[in-house]
Amino acid sequence: MTQHQQTIGARIEFNGVGVHGGAAVSIVLHPAEPDTGVVFHLFEPSGFVREIRAVSANVSSTDLATVVGDVQGVHVSTVEHLMAALYAMDVDNVIIEVEGGEVPIMDGCASRFVEGMIEAGLVKQRASRRMIRVLKPVTVEMQGARGQYLPYDGSRFEIEIDFATPAIGRQMLSLDLTPQTFRREVARARTFGFMKDVERLWASGHALGSSLENSVVIGDDDRVINPGGLRYEDEFVRHKALDAIGDQALAGARILGCYRSYRGGHRLNAMALGALLSDRSAYEIVEVPLAPARSSRAASLAVAAASALGPQVL
């Protein structure tokens, strides 16, 4: 088990397009001091605008993407893939400069964020981690969908989806989260959508930056139309797991427990996390004793599954 909080070893920059706004956006990740957590610094051409902590209390929208900040004002959209990468790769403390109000979609998944962290390396810090241990089942339901937290000795995700289209159907994925399982099983799974929904999404101001380069698209004939096909046979459920990991990362600390969902999405994930954190009898805060600090580079990213993402604000 990794006892120390961690930050990135160097500055990391990502440039791309916002999948919903369609505009050019950029983010820069900076190493941060212990107990900083994950913090967004929003910039406009005139300069710094606002700081937003990446915690569930600051989530303002879960409509097709997870948004932190004031959805009608200053905010950061589509944070889930970046948050999943930080959480899974055990980055506790980082400051993220954002220009454009949205995290770039890159190729529709978390793999490029992971690659950047591996290149920069991780640095162990002289501060112990705190974690949220699930003590009893907590369940939420919404229109036939269900999200549930269960006690578990580790960080586990059990995700099931069920779509009417033959291109997807019913798929299940279960995994214990570690940097290795995330990179191998989840990180490359892309966001997906249906061609029949494109005009409606465009009219509502969503998916303006979506393309076959960053999304798996299902055509009117219920087939994947991307020239390269799927990266995994069950890429759809793997992406839903990626989203669930990113949404859980907004707890502000690694959750020791199992998150199980059926037909879930960002809204259900947020509801389940909110239900857990609002019930003080459902969890406890545990702290891992410190061991001597040391630095680690990309080759030393084999860290424990039950590590935290930073201090939880409860």
Kindly state the helix (H) or strand (E) to which residue 160 belongs, with its residue range: strand 155-162
Which residues have CB under 8 Å from 63's CB, separation 6+?
Answer: 206, 266, 267
Asked whether the beta carbons of 160 and 170 are under 8 A apart, the reply is yes
Residue at 142: amino acid letter: M
Least confident of 53-57, 72-76, 183-187: 72-76
Q: What is the mean pLDDT of residues 3-11?
A: 95
Q: Kindly indicate the confidence band of residue 205, based on its pLDDT and cuts at 50, 70 and 90.
A: confident
* Residue 242 token pair: 């990626």
- The torsion of the CA quartet 215, 71, 149, 83, rounded to 10 degrees, works out to 50
* Residue 37 token pair: 């957590």
Each residue's pLDDT tens digit, 283-296 = 999 997 775 544 44
Q: How far is CA 73 from the centre of its chain?
A: 22
Which residues have CB under 8 Å from 130's CB, separation 6+?
Answer: 253, 285, 286, 287, 288, 308, 311, 312
Which residues have CB under 8 Å from 72's CB, separation 6+?
Answer: none
Residue at 307: amino acid letter: S
- Looking at residue 291, its pLDDT comes to 57
Q: Kindly indicate the confidence band of residue 313, based on its pLDDT and cuts at 50, 70 and 90.
A: very low
Measured distance CA(15)–CA(112) in Å, rounded: 11
**Residue 297 in this model has a pLDDT that exceeds 70:** no
CA distance to 98, 198, 303, per residue, from 109 (Å): 18, 19, 22
- Looking at residue 169, its pLDDT comes to 97
**Residue 230 in this model has a pLDDT that exceeds 90:** yes
CA distance to 108, 186, 222, 303, per residue, from 226 (Å): 13, 19, 12, 35
**Residue 254 in this model has a pLDDT that exceeds 80:** yes
Instruction: Tell me which residue of 121, 242, 120 sits closest to 182, measured CA to CA.
Output: 242
Residue at 31: amino acid letter: P
Each residue's pLDDT tens digit, 107-129 = 999 999 999 999 999 999 999 99
* Residue 54 token pair: 């990446």
Q: What is the mean pLDDT of residues 139-157?
A: 97
- Terminal C-alpha separation, the chain: 24
Q: Determine whether the annotation assigns residue 75 to a binding site.
A: no
Measured distance CA(64)–CA(77) in Å, rounded: 10
Q: Kindly indicate the confidence band of residue 309, based on its pLDDT and cuts at 50, 70 and 90.
A: very low
Q: What is the mean pLDDT of residues 130-143?
A: 97
* Residue count of the chain: 314
Least confident of 43-52, 229-238, 287-296, 304-313: 304-313
Q: Kindly indicate the confidence band of residue 198, based on its pLDDT and cuts at 50, 70 and 90.
A: confident
Asked whether the beta carbons of 85 and 75 are under 8 A apart, the reply is no
Q: Determine whether the annotation assigns residue 30 to a binding site.
A: no
Average pLDDT over the chain reads 90
Q: Determine whether the annotation assigns residue 243 to a binding site.
A: yes
Asked whether the beta carbons of 157 and 244 are under 8 A apart, the reply is yes
Q: What is the mean pLDDT of residues 304-310?
A: 31
Q: What is the mean pLDDT of residues 168-186?
A: 98
Q: Any idea what the Cα angle at residue 228 is, between residues 222 and 233, rounded to 5°?
A: 65
266 as an active site residue: the answer is yes
